[in-house]
A and B are shown apart, each in its own frame.
Chain A
């Protein structure tokens, strides 16, 4: 089993406070991996770091993926913006046409197909501000489909989403895995992680555990994660002797 991503002693900080602290881990290729942990554990920050969007990084990220697709938390998108479902989805092909060229006929065809496969046929001309949270998440999944990435990063894909939509979107995610794409999702529903995600990475700023889900999500590990996340020191000293946590 080869690694799609290898984190080597990764530290990401905001304003010198580390949000991700000395994390070393591997994320297996062509598998589904969940990132779990309490709020403020650095899960979203870790995804941003993988995308190269985090402000300050120490350590290393080795990534074998050529193309990365990213589903942001919905709060990062201005949903009142006047743009149609179709145009939003078509943006998934940005790497093909960039900021200036026209979209090709194949791109338009694929966008149509992606919209249908997330169950939104007939919604193409609708402005996105008329959609429900669940429908809009389907739009974003259609956009991910168009990105044709070998690594898909999902930040809380199922927050505030009903069970029918979750089930439909899980079908899409499983299809990605069947197509040998690597899927990494930040999730809060531990039952779902146990059910659907064979691998997990438990984070509480530092790595608590990584590997097959049943072992990672043990009661002991979860308790430790919670205790570590609650310890926040406003006046922490500089971290001079980097400690290494074994996974």
Chain B
């Protein structure tokens, strides 16, 4: 009975297997990106960036229909362009970077919805906005898995400069290193992950599986690498459980997955070992020193 509930869907249906593998890859790559997004205080900017994929994906849709390569390439280019343009606006004017990101993504979102509605139906729009992880085909799977690979290898390569750029950019500059190079490399990886996630979860929720587990992990871990190690299993668990629940209950999978990720967040907020509700409320015997 339990066996049937937990494993039967994956054994019986190829689309469930593909969805599971896709979410494993998204979880591993995305949670590492999420940890850095939080540490760089860019959570909301990441969200804005994810929405900004829309006009690019929509243009891809307009030119190539519901074709994965066209929409992914369009989304990637739009995301990179938004990151560069809002970064540049912030640098050359006095507008704060979060404000310029917000301005860029609102423009992008409006433009994207408009473009989709030029040709597509409401169903297409829903697909792009909210994704369809159960519709992940082999092509999308390759995209997601290569993204995860590239993300892990890339982050491992730029790990040290990126960490120092986060917490003490002046030191990096004094060492003669251009921190902005690593900032933009990281943004490129982040956009890549959102493109991968958008097929599964849509532009509106692609960041859910990236950010929520990372936020949850920050209630448990004390260093960057351990945060990542904790976030990835949480992301995968939310995806696996979310898939099963949505399968059995007949609910849309994207929101269910994100809601499970947010359960992890709320659980960690309550029970985590660092600055959680539990550690605030329960004050056991204080230490001697």
Contacts and interface: CB of A to CB of B under 8 A. Distances in A.
Interface of A: 51, 53, 68, 70, 72, 76-78, 81-84, 91, 94-95, 99-100, 127
**Size bracket of the B interface:** 20 to 34
B160 to A, nearest CB: 5
B160 A99 contact: yes
A119 to B, nearest CB: 15
Nearest to A128: B167
Q: What are the 8 tightest A-B residue pairs by CB atom distance, in nearest-first order?
A: A81-B167, A99-B161, A78-B167, A70-B174, A72-B170, A127-B222, A94-B175, A77-B168
Contacts of B39: 81-82
A53 B168 contact: no
Given A72-B171, A78-B167, A82-B222, 15 more contacts: A53-B170, A68-B174, A76-B170, A77-B170, A78-B166, A78-B168, A82-B39, A82-B223, A83-B223, A83-B224, A84-B222, A94-B175, A99-B158, A99-B161, A99-B177
7 contacts: A76-B168, A81-B39, A82-B218, A82-B224, A94-B175, A99-B161, A127-B223
B118 interface: no
A99 to B, nearest CB: 4
A51 B173 CA distance: 9
B212 interface: no
A199 to B, nearest CB: 23
Contacts of B171: 70, 72, 91, 94
Interface string B126-167: 000000000000000000000000000000011011011011
Nearest to B182: A99
B26 to A, nearest CB: 24
A83 B160 CA distance: 11
Nearest to B39: A81
Contact of A95 (B175, B222, B223): B175
Contacts of B223: 82-84, 127
A78 B160 CA distance: 16
B141 to A, nearest CB: 32
A76 B168 CA distance: 7
Contacts of B221: 82
A82 B175 CA distance: 21
A81 B173 contact: no
B244 interface: no
Interface centre among B160, B167, B171, B173 (most CB of A within 10 A): B171
A81 B166 contact: yes
B155 to A, nearest CB: 13
B269 interface: no
Nearest to B165: A99
B204 interface: no
A83 B170 contact: no
A100 B227 CA distance: 21
Contacts of B174: 51, 53, 68, 70
A66 to B, nearest CB: 13
A95 B168 CA distance: 16
Contacts of B158: 99
Contacts of A78: 166-168
B171 to A, nearest CB: 7
Contacts of B173: 51, 53
Interface centre among B163, B170, B173 (most CB of A within 10 A): B170
Nearest to A78: B167
Nearest to A53: B173
